[in-house]
């Protein structure tokens, strides 16, 4: 997708709604800016809590397994 826009007062950039929708960006969301070869790249930074709740799950553990690992790490770190 390639769309055009203008640089507004105080150098503000306002991407077109289609771009915002394509990136699934919401008002107030954090984004990452990268300049590469004189091009501006804008990437959404996903909220870690949102990812934890809505993201793809790739592992399973029980509360008991988590507690055992926690105790093991605490013993390793603090004796």
pTM of the model: 0.55
Q: What is the CA radius of gyration of the chain?
A: 21
Which pLDDT value is given to residue 56? 83
For the CA atoms of 33, 35, 41, 44, what is the dihedral angle to 10 degrees? -20
Report pLDDT digits (tens) over 63-72.
999 999 999 9
Residues of the chain predicted below pLDDT 70: none
Structure token digits, residue 73: 């790490």
- Max Cα–Cα distance, the chain, nearest Å: 60
Burial 27-59 (b: 16+ CB within 10 A, else e): eeeeeeeeeeeeeeeeeeeeeeeeeeeeeeeee
Note the pLDDT of residue 65. Answer: 94
Tell me what pLDDT residue 50 has.
Answer: 80
Please state the domain extents for the chain: 9-78
Q: Output the pLDDT for position 63.
A: 92
Q: Return the CATH fold of 9-78.
A: Pemi-like Protein 1; Chain: D (2.10.260)
What's the pLDDT score for residue 13? 92
């Amino acid at each position: 997708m390639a769309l055009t826009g203008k640089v507004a007062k105080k150098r503000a950039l306002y991407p077109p709604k289609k771009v915002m929708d394509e990136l699934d960006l919401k008002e107030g969301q954090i984004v990452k800016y990268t300049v590469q070869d004189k091009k501006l790249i804008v990437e959404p930074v996903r909220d870690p809590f949102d990812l934890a709740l809505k993201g793809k799950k790739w592992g399973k553990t029980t509360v008991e397994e988590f507690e055992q690992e926690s105790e093991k790490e605490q013993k390793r770190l603090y004796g």
